[in-house]
Amino acid sequence: MTVLKAMDLSASIGRTKILDEVSVNFGAGELVGLIGPNGAGKTTLLKCLLGLLKPDSGTISLDGRALPAWSRSEVAKRLGYLAQGAPCHWPMTAERIVELGRLPHAGSGRELDSQTLPSVSAALEKTGTMHLRSRVVTSLSGGERTLVMIARCLAGGAPLLLADEPVTGLDPRHQIEIMQTLRAQAAGPGGVVAVLHDLNLAARFCTQLVLMHQGRIVSEGAPDQVLTSEHLANVYGIDAALRRVDGQMVVLHQGSRG
């Protein structure tokens, strides 16, 4: 089971401290929502965990081994990454884009392995994008493209998927489809960490939440433990409460605090 840990992680951009002694532990079986206002440090945390940004201090380990000791291809076999906006500028078919998820498993000559075709088909099926396999990705809608890019991550077989704002800017149907796909991935042998701004989606789909503010972790745990009136007031400056409506947890916004 892949386990990703950070201890006392601090990071800065220029003279601005973005992360301030953050410690997290992510593994299989959970859909973890990283929540918090803009500038809380969520994206910076993801990029540090992926080795895309170098922290000022603290340690990151992957499966008990320091992250810098792993080769980038070995990291890619264990950690999938969906960047913010699911960018893809290559005029290639969805099927070909998903195939690229197998590159960490390719040989020295970049030939794809025997698991490529079944892995690609399985990933397209899981994300409900089989009907898009022959479409050029740059012609897809934002929601369709996001699902294809998630399929690309799944095809690579990485046990842990890190997704940065996977539903921002998408219509409600695609938001729900994407969250259902991420939840299904976490319900299997894998795990997912997703940066989210929609608190209702976080409450409905995530099994655990990590609430960040000003570079620190304010609270972590089950949604009903994290999305309290006190936390929402202190972090977001809003009057809100978590309630159950028809069995679903819903964040009821009652207004902002002056």
Tens of pLDDT along 40-77? 999 999 999 999 999 999 999 999 999 999 999 999 99
Q: Tell me the CA distances in angstroms from 40 to 196, 213, 217, one per residue in order.
A: 12, 5, 9
The residue extents of the domains of the chain are: 4-220
Chain segment 106-142, per-residue pLDDT in tens: 765 566 667 888 999 999 999 999 999 999 999 999 9
Q: Taking the C-alpha atoms of 163, 83, 129 and 177 in order, what is their torsion angle to the nearest 10 degrees? A: 40
Amino acid at 174: H
Q: CATH top-level class for 4-220? A: alpha beta
Q: Which amino acid is at 80?
A: G
pLDDT at residue 16, as a whole number? 92
Q: What is the pLDDT of residue 112?
A: 67
Q: What whole-number distance in Å separates Cα of residue 201 and Cα of residue 230?
A: 20
Give 179-220 pLDDT, tens digit per residue: 999 999 998 888 999 999 999 999 999 999 999 999 999 999
118/123 Cα distance (integer angstroms): 9
Tell me if 235 sits within 8 A of 36, measured CB to CB: yes
